[in-house]
Amino acid sequence: MRVGIIGTGRIAEKAAITLRGLTEVEAYAVGSRHQDTADAFAKKWDIPKAYGSYAALIADPDIDLIYIGTPHSHHFDVTREAILSGKPCLVEKAFMANSRQTQEILDLAHQQKVFVAEAIWTRYQPVVSIILDLISSGRIGEPRMVTATLGYSMGNKERIMRPDLCGGALLDLGVYALNFVRMFFPADILCIDGHCVKSDTGMDLTNTMTLILKDGVLCNLQSSASCVGDNIGVIAGTEGNLIIDNINNPQQITVNGPNRTFIETIRVPQQITGYEYQFLACRQALIDGRLEPVEMPHKETLYIMQLMDSLRQKWGVRYPMDI
Ligand SMILES: NC(=O)c1ccc[n+]([C@@H]2O[C@H](COP(=O)([O-])OP(=O)(O)OC[C@H]3O[C@@H](n4cnc5c(N)ncnc54)[C@H](OP(=O)(O)O)[C@@H]3O)[C@@H](O)[C@H]2O)c1
């Protein structure tokens, strides 16, 4: 599968590093707003084609999958153009600015019969089934509470601070905490609430979210773009708990029994970077002729965007695209 990478920032570099480690998938092209940036990126990562505009990359007939690594604000236009050109897309999280844009893109993809997926990498990792098996085996009894934190000190990074780039911690980091819950506890959400501390620019810098699920599980989640979090997730049950370190790329799961007695530590399989699974899932979906990946169905992408819309509405965190 030949991948065209759009954007040359932090995550685009991670994608390039990851694809170098795979044999079934290759980084074939990179697209930037500037030709010299594309050329430098292609040279650094040994990528055959470099385009000085996103449109030029989208027009390349030899690309099998376009990976979109721009700020959230720019996902919509680039994905729309790619789908209209018939190109399958893997779009970084958060998928779009809001659920309205998400619905529009998913409808378009279905009309055009083009594959599109959200690059929420944790969903595609083998650790998901390891944790699901631990829960269903009854090792921790009946789950009653989930806590999860994700925090990085990001300074005044423009992508986080600016409303027109869809800033804030929620779309960047809180999305992992919400997915952490949904991956393991897909029951209906009876209520969701939260609070946040905002930047001078009106973006949520640190937030907390509480969810009560229909099956009686209470979830308490935090995300922050202004401090170093422990980034740990805990699934607490009547007979023990699972401590997942960390929710952004789980490396180990500690299983504790009653009274927090240590039982075992489980490590995840050896990774390239942890991003490889999302590319392999796209490849498999394309081979199978599917329009969405099994690991992250479109309805989940839409539902998570709706949850984030409702939280932002409560907090008064607004983007220019929210009309
Ligand atoms: N999965 C993960 O672990 C992970 C980690 C970090 C970020 N992300 C996601 O990846 C996306 C990009 O994040 P990033 O940290 O890579 O951002 P970044 O370092 O700021 O890079 C973003 C890239 O997008 C392009 N771009 C297009 N319009 C832009 C604009 N108006 N301002 C700035 N850049 C613009 C630029 O590439 P050109 O100049 O070449 O056009 C830039 O290099 C976001 O959706 C983010 O949530 C995911």
d(CA 4, CA 65): 6
pLDDT in tens, 260-278: 999 999 999 999 999 999 9
Give the CA radius of gyration of the chain.
20
- Which residues on neighbouring strands pair with residue 117, listed in sequence order? 90
CA dihedral (276, 282, 287, 292) positive or negative: positive
Q: Specify the amino acid at residue 170.
A: L
Asked whether the bond before 285 is cis by omega within 30 degrees of 0, the reply is no
Q: Name the residue among 315, 316, 314, 298 with its Cα closest to residue 99.
A: 298
d(CA 244, CA 138): 17
Locate the ligand 1 atom nearest the alpha carbon of residue 175 and give its number. Answer: 47
Query: In the numeric block, which tokens belong to residue 34?
Result: 């500037």
pLDDT reported for residue 323 = 83
C-beta separation of 244 from 143 below 8 A:
no
Span 228-252, average pLDDT: 98
d(CA 114, CA 105): 10
d(CA 106, CA 20): 30
For residue 284, how far is its CA from the centre of ligand 1 (angstroms)? 26
Neighbours of 294 (CB within 10 A): 12
Per DSSP, the three-state class of 255 is: strand
Examine the pLDDT at 19 and tell me if it is beyond 90. yes
Span 188-204, average pLDDT: 97
C-beta separation of 245 from 173 below 8 A:
no
Query: In the numeric block, which tokens belong to residue 3?
Result: 């991948």
pLDDT reported for residue 291 = 98
For residue 69, how far is its CA from the centre of ligand 1 (angstroms)? 5
Q: Ligand 1 in contact with 10 (CB < 6 A)?
A: yes
Phi, psi of 274 (to 5 degrees): 100, -15
Locate the ligand 1 atom nearest the alpha carbon of residue 70 and give its number. Answer: 24
pLDDT in tens, 85-124: 999 999 999 999 999 999 999 999 999 999 999 999 999 9
Classify residue 70 by its DSSP letter: S
pLDDT reported for residue 258 = 96
pLDDT reported for residue 33 = 98
Percent of the residues in the chain that have a pLDDT greater than 90, as a whole number:
99
Local confidence band at 2 (pLDDT 50, 70, 90 cut-offs): very high
For residue 74, how far is its CA from the centre of ligand 1 (angstroms)? 9
Per DSSP, the three-state class of 242 is: strand
C-beta separation of 217 from 236 below 8 A:
no
Examine the pLDDT at 6 and tell me if it is beyond 90. yes
pLDDT in tens, 281-312: 999 999 999 999 999 999 999 999 999 999 99
- Which residue's CA is the closest to the ligand 1 atom numbered 26? 70
- What is the distance in angstroms between the CA of the first residue and the CA of the last residue of the chain? 38
Span 22-28, average pLDDT: 98
